[in-house]
């Protein structure tokens, strides 16, 4: 990915900043400027809480290029408490079992590096919730 793309995506990647629809209140992630629920214009920024639960999950053993050093690693679809589904890596799982419905929270982690000399790329992952809620 180009440096310019990493730069453009930094807000949503670092902190799960999406949009809220001013017409139907839908929370939107990733931001797309058009509400997927009512089709109206939606450009107002919205800071997601980062809390959610595992909707589905799997473990990657054959990683795409750039991620081979991290195998095996878990990936999940997370249902954010505000509604949207987000696909992301799980991290810091340790020996905790991951199941559908496991409470998770967003953390900002290193997603990878653009080669040996390129920029470091940071973004959201999810980990089992640190404190019970």
Partner 1 sequence: MAENKLLVPDREAGIIGYGAYIPRYRLPVKEVARVWADGKGGLPIHEKAVTGLDEDVITMSIEAARNALARSGIDPTEIGAVWVGSESHPYAVKPTSTVVAEAIGATPHVLAADWEFACKAGTEAIQASIGFVGSGMADYALAIGMDTAQGRPGDALEYTAGAGGAAFIIGPAKDAVCVFEGSYSYATDTPDFWRRANAIYPEHGERFTGEPAYFSHTQTAAESLLEALGATASDFRFAVFHQPNTKFPMRVAKSLGFGQDQIEAGLLVPEIGNTYAGSAMIGLTSILDIADPGDRILMVSYGSGAGSDAFSLRATEALPRRRGSAPATLIYVKRRTEIDYATYARLRGKLVLK
- Tell me, rounded to whole angstroms, the distance of Cα 122 from its chain centroid: 11
Q: Evaluate whether 17 touches 48 at the Cβ level (below 8 Å).
A: yes
Interacting positions 101-130 with partner 1 (CB under 8 A): 107-111, 119-120, 122, 125, 130
- Report 52-71 residues binding partner 1 (CB under 8 A): 68-70
Could you tell me the two tokens for 64?
């795409």
**Total residues in contact with partner 1, by rule CB under 8 A:** 24
Ramachandran assignment for 33, one of left (phi > 0), alpha (psi -120 to 50 degrees), beta (any other): left
Question: What DSSP line would sit under 66-122, residue for residue?
Answer: T-GGG-SEEEEEEEETTS-EEEEEB---TTPPP-TT-EEEEEEEEEEESTTTS-EEE
Binding residues among 19-48 for partner 1 as defined by CB under 8 A: 47
Return the residue of 41, 49, 92, 100 that touches partner 1, per CB under 8 A: 92
Closest contact distance (angstroms) between CB of 23 and partner 1 is: 25
Rule CB under 8 A: choose which of 33, 95, 97, 115 binds partner 1: 95
> Rule CB under 8 A: which residues touch partner 1?
10-11, 14-15, 47, 68-70, 89, 91-92, 94-95, 107-111, 119-120, 122, 125, 130-131
């Amino acid at each position: 990915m180009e440096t310019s793309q990493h730069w453009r995506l930094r807000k949503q990647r670092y902190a799960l900043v999406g949009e809220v629809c001013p017409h139907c209140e839908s929370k939107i992630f990733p931001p797309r400027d058009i509400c997927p629920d009512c089709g109206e214009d939606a450009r107002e920024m919205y800071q997601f809480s980062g809390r959610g639960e595992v909707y589905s999950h799997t473990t990657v053993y054959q990683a795409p290029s750039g991620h081979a050093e991290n195998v095996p690693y878990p990936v999940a679809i997370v249902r954010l408490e505000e509604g949207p589904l987000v696909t992301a890596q799980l991290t810091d799982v340790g020996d905790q079992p991951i199941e559908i419905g496991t409470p998770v929270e967003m953390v900002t982690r290193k997603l990878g590096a653009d080669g040996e000399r390129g920029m470091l790329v940071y973004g959201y992952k999810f980990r089992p919730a640190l404190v019970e809620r």
